Amino acid sequence: MNRETFEDYIARFNARDVTAFEDYLCDDMQMLNGALRFEGVAGMKDHYVGKIWPHFEEKLNLIRFLGGEDHVAVELRTDFTALHDAPDTLFGPVETGEMFIYRGLIMYDLRGGKFATITVAYNSFTNVRPDGTTREMGLPH
């Protein structure tokens, strides 16, 4: 997979275009994200459409890309911004405007040009409260 194709996936993900999952994931894709594991298009939709996007604006920011026929490795910064006060999210209770900033590496194994496995490695996960105070969270889930 080349960078241009991967950037298309990122742009569609950032636009909350769930058809990107169908276009870029193998039906039996396996994802490991912290302590979370999920499978295929249905698992991605459940996680993002069902658990993340109702509460957060999420933006993937590509920092570094290494791509080939069988694998893609990226360095990402992902910003999650709380859309509203919510007592129960994957990150716990949140206030409007509260941010969570993920920095890390993600490895994608490809099969037929689609993601067969996705493995997320955290370098940092930072919580930024609406008043500007920050705290390092380690693995949030």
User: pTM for this structure?
Assistant: 0.91
Domain spans, the chain: 3-136
Rounded alpha-carbon distances, angstroms, from residue 16 to 10, 21, 44, 75, 114: 10, 10, 12, 20, 18
Q: Which pair of structure tokens corresponds to residue 86?
A: 């919510």
Question: pLDDT truncated to tens, each residue of the chain (141 aa)?
Answer: 999 999 999 999 999 999 999 999 999 999 998 888 999 999 999 999 999 999 999 999 999 999 999 999 999 999 999 999 999 999 899 999 999 999 999 999 999 999 999 999 988 999 999 999 999 987 655
Provide the pairing of β-strand 25-33 with 36-39. antiparallel
Q: Can you spell out the DSSP letters for 1-17? A: --HHHHHHHHHHHHTT-
Assigned architecture for domain 3-136: Roll (3.10)
- Residue 35 pLDDT: 82
